[in-house]
Amino acid sequence: MGKQDDRFIPVHEPLFETKRRIGTVIAYRVFSASVFVCIFLIWFYRVFVPVEIDESRTGLVRLLSLVMLFAEIYFGLYWVVTQSSRWNPVWRFTFADRLSRIYGNDLPRLDVFICTADPVIEPPLLVVNTVLSVAALDYPPEKLAVYLSDDGGSELTFYALTEAAEFAKTWVPFCKKFNVEPRSPAAYLSAKANGLDSSAEEVVKLYREMATRIEMATTHGRVPEEARLKHGDGFSQWDFDTTRRNHGTILQILVDGREEKTRETIPTLVYLSREKRPQHHHHFKAGAMNAMLRISSKITCGRFILNLDCDMYSNNSKSARDALCILLDEKEGKEIAFVQFPQCFDNLTRNDLYGSMMRVGMDVEFNGLDGNGGPLYIGTGCFHRRDVICGRKYGEEEEKSEKIQEISKPEMIKALASCTYEENTQWGKEMGVKYGCPVEDVITGLAIQCRGWKSAYLNPKNKAFLGVAPTNLHQTLVQLRRWSEGDFQILLSEYSPIWYGQGKISLGLILGYCVYCLWAPSSVPVLIYSVLTPLCLIKGIPLFPKVSSSWCIPFGYVTVAANVYSLAEFLWCGGTFRGWWNEQRMWLYRRTSSYLFGFIDTIRKLLGVSESAFVITAKVAEEEGAERYKEEVMEFGVESPMFLLLGTLGMLNLFCFAAAVMRLLTSRDGGDFQTMGLQFGIAGALVVINWPLYEGMLFRKDKGKMPMSVTVKSIVLALSACTCFAFL
């Protein structure tokens, strides 16, 4: 141990390298310039080329062109903003063997923070698997600690964790001995579905028994008596009047790895449910993170912190070492505050019907952000430096105290997680995770970068962490609504990357943040485009140049080039053609529902009409729905204003397109097609892309179809919109 300070590293050996692909970048820039020229031509066309139309309707047509111009200016500018994440991408590769050579097992302490909030939406067994997967990380157990923050304050979750602590004594050594991957028992079992080694049978039997006990307890909502007796001091912290919104701090160190220094131990395991009182704001996940930061500082005080969502298990036991390669690197690593891994899912179908994977975001855009100064902190799968998240500025000296505080009793440190502890402190402001925004992670990351730090993005082939993706359309849209709303709020807040980041982070990174912050407002021009195009089609108002005109070329080029490029990029990231097509559909649905609602909610909040609420998305799927998810059949099933909007837009487009086609067939010269070819094209593409929606509304009989009431309302609304417009 004592060697730590006089360790002598002869020559600086980098622990990671950063690669760029110069050829691809140059090719991309040429392509990007060509698209920009065409965007510019489109603007020019809208401003200077008069629309040919009979005299009677000029007023309306002028107005429509103006609206289209607005949408096209927005698209063009947004496109410029998105270029920031493709302009200068980098890829990082680590040398874990060098890390082992230099440090051996003498690695810094690592604390893992896992947040859970609801034992129903996030079943204890799922949480336990996440805990076990990180407990078995390829890391010296005496240097590793796992903290579970339970904002549900649930005895069931606590009980599950006591079971996990027991099972870990078998599981962790087993994983290390046989080099098991992945190290979440459930994931390991499903990967080994056909045939186990004899060495594994005993362990698997133990796991199954544990899983049965936990599931029994969960379904009955009752903790077994034996467990209560065995962990009396833990359970005694629940009073008869404890509810999830009203209870004192519950803190239990289930495994204390600080004292025994033998090799065969398992990591420290701590359960925390911070104090909750109805009259105090608890700041959701950010509050939980900050409570864990303080509590852990008195228990293990890891120099590095890994933050995970409770459904995100470790699928690659080397991830901690990979991250340390970056954070401990003597040269470049010194300026890096956090290492973000991508958010991946183990629960996706082949063609990713709901586009949950954000394949391009994770395989292209985040590398682009990294080239500009570092990816966003996305709240899970991220390794932090403790002192940086607690406020250290770049350039300030790191306090190198690796010694643990004298061991304090849990009773003495509980006060750190009380409701009132943060009053009149910098917690939530300059210290820890910031408060006051639905996507607190993003502003926290931004603030760190504004203090002079960089961040790094690591995306190893064997994905480091895998979560559970939403398995139906509604959950997906709700989640995106929250994200888009939060990101847009950031843009308007004091932490807006535009003014807060000004002069502190690079322009490329400011634009990189804006890509996400502008999700919500992007809904408006998309809505305009997808409503006006079909409506004008039936009314016979051309919105675009004639097919024979050479002004068609820029429109055509932008459309074709953008789509071919995005398809190529998607396939390059390992996607399928259908996957790309699904993603295009989700592109549209996200903008015309989630983002639009996110936009409206933000505006309402600005005007003081409503308060923000944090909606957790459910992590379990009901059985029949799960079957449809596997078959990639789109799931509607619930009555939701978002579906009403999607349904209305879909129907509107269908009616308009059908009417226009009828007119084309009955007309003698096909003149409509001449003047409105592009509109036919767009409306036709919308019909094709909306096909699953039409099926769900009109043809399907199963439970996942669109509810009848939504279908009827959508049709009525769409018909009235068409009629109104026709008489305009």
Residue 515 to residue 87: CA distance in whole angstroms? 14
Q: Which of 240, 237, 239, 242 is nearest to 271 (CA)?
A: 237
Q: Is 285 annotated as a binding residue?
A: yes
What the block records as the tokens of 530 is 């997808």
Task: Confirm whether residue 309 is marked as ligand binding.
Answer: yes
Q: Find the shortest distance in angstroms from Cβ 184 to ligand NAG.
A: 10
C-alpha separations of 587 from 278, 356, 363, 422, 592 in Å: 39, 11, 17, 41, 9
CA distances to 146, 415, 490 from 287, rounded to whole Å, are: 18, 14, 18
Residue 263: HSE in the Cβ half-sphere, 13 Å Cα cutoff: 5
Name the residue nearer to ligand NAG (CB basis): 41 or 626.
626
- Site mask for ligand NAG (CB under 6 A), range 180-219, x = bound: -xx-------------------------------------
Residue from 37, 49, 620, 716 binding ligand NAG (CB under 6 A): 620
Structure tokens at 521: 């407002």
Smallest gap from residue 323 Cβ to ligand NAG (A): 16
Residue with structure tokens 């890509």? 515
Q: Does 449 bind ligand NAG (CB under 6 A)?
A: no
The answer to whether residue 322 forms part of the interface with ligand NAG (CB under 6 A) is: no
Residues 6+ apart with CB under 8 A from 321: 94, 96, 99, 100, 107, 138, 139
Contact set for ligand NAG, span 471-530 (CB under 6 A): 471
Looking at 152-160, 344-352, 446-454, 674-682, which segment touches ligand NAG (CB under 6 A)? 344-352
Candidates 228, 234, 241; CA nearest to 148 is 234
Q: Which stretch binds ligand NAG (CB under 6 A): 365-373, 559-567, 618-626, 691-699?
A: 618-626
From residue 573 to residue 612, the character string flagging contacts with ligand NAG as x (rule: CB under 6 A) and all else as - is ----------------------------------------
Helices 473-492, 440-450: inter-axial angle, 10-degree rounding: 40
Minimum separation from the CB atom of position 624 to ligand NAG (A): 12
Among 34, 105, 212, 462, binds ligand NAG (CB under 6 A): 462
User: Could you tell me if residue 563 is left (phi over 0), alpha (psi between -120 and 50 degrees) or otherwise beta?
Assistant: alpha
Between 462 and 720, whose beta carbon lies closer to ligand NAG?
A: 462
Site for ligand NAG in 243-302 (CB under 6 A): none
- CB of residue 468 vs ligand NAG: minimum separation in angstroms? 5
630 lies in the site for ligand NAG, by CB under 6 A: yes
In the shown chain, the binding pattern of residues 127 to 146 toward ligand NAG, with x for contact by CB under 6 A and - for none, equals --------------------
Distance between CA 416 and CA 233 in Å, rounded? Answer: 20
Strand 91-94 to 16-19 pairing:
antiparallel
b/e burial code for range 55-77 (CB count within 10 A of at least 16 → b): eeeeeebeebbeebeebbbbbbe
DSSP letters for 466-521: EE----SHHHHHHHHHHHHHHHHHHHHSTT-HHHHSTTTS-HHHHHHHHHHHTHHH
- Segment contacting ligand NAG by CB under 6 A, of 22-30, 615-623, 674-682, 701-709: 615-623
151 is in an annotated binding site: yes
Active-site positions?
Answer: 151, 441
Q: How many residues does the chain have?
A: 728
**CA atoms of 711 and 620, how far apart (whole Å):** 27
Query: Among the candidate windows 19-27, 354-362, 402-410, 463-471, which touches ligand NAG by CB under 6 A?
Result: 463-471
Query: Which residue in 117, 621, 689, 710 binds ligand NAG (CB under 6 A)?
Result: 621
Among the listed residues 148, 203, 468, 510, the single contact to ligand NAG using CB under 6 A: 468
Query: What contacts 24, CB < 8 A, 6 or more positions away?
Result: none
Among 315, 530, 653, 711, binds ligand NAG (CB under 6 A): 315
Q: Is 347 in the site for ligand NAG (CB under 6 A)?
A: yes
Stretch that binds ligand NAG, among 283-291, 351-359, 407-415, 619-627 (CB under 6 A): 619-627
Can you tell me which residue has the tokens 């003081």? 608
CB of 576 or CB of 610, closer to ligand NAG:
576
Q: Which residue has the tokens 């060098």?
A: 98
CB of 179 to ligand NAG, least distance (A): 10
Q: Is 122 in the site for ligand NAG (CB under 6 A)?
A: no
Across the beta sheet with 268-273, the strand order is 250-255, 268-273, 144-150, 110-116, 304-309, 382-385, 336-340, 454-457
Among 463, 482, 628, 705, binds ligand NAG (CB under 6 A): 463
Minimum Å gap between C-beta 114 and ligand NAG is 17
Count residues near ligand NAG (CB under 6 A).
15
Q: Which residues are annotated as a binding site?
A: 122, 151, 285, 309
Q: Which residues are annotated as a binding site for UDP-alpha-D-glucose?
A: 122, 151
Q: Which residues are annotated as a binding site for Mn(2+)?
A: 285, 309
List contacts with ligand NAG (CB under 6 A). Answer: 181-182, 315, 344, 347, 349, 462-463, 468, 471, 619-621, 626, 630
